[in-house]
Amino acid sequence: MDPRVSSAERTGRRVSLGLYLGLVTVFTLICSVEVILQAWAHPPLPEPVDCRARAQSLIKGLENAKARARSGDNEQTSMELFRGGLGPDWELKNSLQQACAKDPLAARLIRELDQLRYAEEHAVRYEARELTRRRQRVSLFERELSLDPVPH
């Protein structure tokens, strides 16, 4: 230790470091709890739940999302439109799955719809990428051939 550093300065540094580490630890714990609750906590559903009607709502939301995604002009826009078009029942899908555990057919349908949703999302992403590439290639040909651009 440097003999020029007084005992009060060392104590001040230790207290400051302790406070800093305490604040960082508390902040990290709070953020961790928030992330864990978002990932694994399921919001309660109003009782009673009509599982079959809710499953039908999930199907309609998925169809709506696919239709909306087709109007996107790039991957990001298509994905935003798809996710925004799913509807409110998709936000409660995990809670719905728990509530419908007593109706085996509805529970299986909800699981299948969840898998279909991810497959549809993947398809939207792929189709949007492919469509964007094709539009870019046509635009390149239009410029090379000095054609008037056709609106896409």
**SS3 state of residue 54:** helix
pLDDT at 41: 67
Q: How many domains does the chain have?
A: 2
The model's pTM is 0.61
**pLDDT value at residue 97:** 85
Indicate whether 103 and 137 sit together in one domain: yes
Q: What sign results for the dihedral spanned by CA atoms 71, 74, 75, 80?
A: negative
Q: What is the pLDDT of residues 25-63, one digit of tens each?
A: 999 999 999 888 777 766 666 667 788 888 899 999 999
- The rounded mean pLDDT for the chain is 85
Q: Residue 110: in which H helix or E strand, if any?
A: helix 104-144
Q: Which two tokens stand for residue 117?
A: 């949703």
Closest CA to 110 of 65, 49, 30, 39: 49
Only one residue has tokens 């109003």, namely: 46
Whether the predicted pLDDT of 132 surpasses 60: yes
Within a domain: 151: no
* Same domain (yes/no): 37, 55: no
Q: Residue 65: which domain range?
A: 46-144
Are residue 71 and residue 110 in the same domain, yes or no?
yes
